[in-house]
Amino acid sequence: MARVKRAVNAQKKRRTTLEAASGYRGQRSRLYRKAKEQLLHSFQYSYRDRRARKGDFRQLWITRINAAARANGMTYNRFIQGLRIAEVAVDRKILADLAVNDAAAFAALVKTAQAALADAAVTGVKGATADGSAA
């Protein structure tokens, strides 16, 4: 028989792989080859979903902001446009947090956006009208 010089390292590698796959169903947690293949797929899913999570949270924030803005008599896109005109630099994550946890502060931001839109309609900023319709 041939002498095996790296048996300890090979066993350690297989043990590490099987431990990482310990929660998987069936052969994927018991057989090295299937566990290794499943782990490679799992890493790809993790990579993809870490990036997808960012878009999911942005979508959630926008939904929350839209609901709170409509409760204050304004649509989401007009609200964001008003904040841009007023040069209020608050991102959607913070706006969504304010919408959920501090309704008074969010209402104040809505008032600021409405005032900025009304002022912009008077001064003639492109895309802004007093009644909220498209220019």
CATH number at residue 76: 1.10.1900.20
Kindly state whether residue 103 falls inside one of the protein's structural domains. yes
Kindly state whether residue 133 falls inside one of the protein's structural domains. no
In order of 5, 46, 71, 78, 86, the CA distances from 111 in angstroms are 75, 42, 13, 12, 11
Q: Is 99 in the same domain as 80?
A: yes
Q: Is 95 in the same domain as 105?
A: yes
Tokens encoding 45:
């899913």
Q: How many domains does the chain have?
A: 2
Q: Is 89 in the same domain as 99?
A: yes
Contact by Cβ (8 Å): 97, 60: no
Dihedral sign, Cα of residue 101, residue 103, residue 105, residue 109: positive
Q: Is 93 in the same domain as 35?
A: no
Contact by Cβ (8 Å): 112, 88: yes
Q: Is 16 in the same domain as 75?
A: no
Q: Is 18 in the same domain as 70?
A: no
pLDDT in tens, 96-135: 999 999 999 999 999 999 999 999 888 876 666 655 555 5
pLDDT in tens, 14-72: 999 999 999 999 999 999 999 999 999 999 999 999 999 999 999 999 999 999 999 99
Q: Is 67 in the same domain as 119?
A: yes
pTM of the model as a whole: 0.79
Contact by Cβ (8 Å): 28, 35: yes
Contact by Cβ (8 Å): 89, 56: no
Q: Is 40 in the same domain as 62?
A: no
**Structural domain containing residue 44:** 8-52
Q: Is 33 in the same domain as 57?
A: no
Single-letter amino acid code for the residue at 126 = K
Q: Is 90 in the same domain as 104?
A: yes
Kindly state whether residue 135 falls inside one of the protein's structural domains. no
